């Protein structure tokens, strides 16, 4: 799998399925976050992720503000699809529905 660093802490994972824009705020230690990334990998979905526990306090602050601005609650994984749908937690059925899997 190809990954490209596009911003200090954002990793882009290339995939064939580019139908939706997917961003995952995750924790590097979290098993549910790992499952969310795995679901994208297994379905060839292109996505970006940030492991927030590896971010600086300033970056964490920005991510927190981004989640709250979108009306989300602080919980991980936080999956943002097409800049409009925010899913908190690894809710597999919901994620698949929005990604049309």
Partner 1 sequence: MTTLEKVRQRAESDARTSGCFLNPDPLFLKDLLEGLKKNEDRYGYPSCPCRPATGKLELDKDILCPCWYRDPDVQEYSSCYCGLYVSKDMYEGKTKLQSIPERRPQEKQARALGVTREIPIPKPSAKAAPKTEGMKLWYCKQCGYVCYREEPPYICPICKAKKEMFSEIASG
Q: Which is nearer to partner 1, 47 or 76 (CB)?
A: 76
Angle at 96 (CA atoms; ends 93, 100), nearest 5 degrees: 140
Q: Which is nearer to partner 1, 46 or 66 (CB)?
A: 66
Q: How many CB atoms lie within 10 A of CB 80?
A: 19
Angle at 23 (CA atoms; ends 79, 95), nearest 5 degrees: 40
Q: Which residues contact partner 1 by CB under 8 A?
A: 27-34, 52-53, 57-58, 60-61, 63-64, 68, 73-76, 88-92
Instruction: Give the nearest distance from C-beta 57 to partner 1 in angstroms.
Output: 4
Instruction: Give the nearest distance from C-beta 13 to partner 1 in angstroms.
Output: 19
What span, in angstroms and rounded, lies between the C-alpha atoms of 13 and 44?
A: 9
Instruction: Give the nearest distance from C-beta 7 to partner 1 in angstroms.
Output: 18
């Amino acid at each position: 799998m190809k990954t490209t660093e596009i911003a200090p802490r954002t990793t882009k994972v290339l995939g064939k399925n580019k139908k939706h824009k997917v961003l995952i705020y995750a924790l590097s230690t979290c098993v549910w976050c790992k499952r969310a990334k795995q679901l994208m990998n297994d379905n060839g979905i292109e996505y970006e992720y940030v492991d927030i526990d590896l971010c600086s306090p300033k970056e964490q602050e920005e991510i927190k503000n981004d989640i709250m601005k979108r009306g989300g609650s602080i919980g991980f994984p936080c999956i943002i699809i097409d800049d409009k749908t925010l899913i908190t937690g690894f809710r597999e059925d919901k994620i698949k529905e929005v990604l049309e899997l």
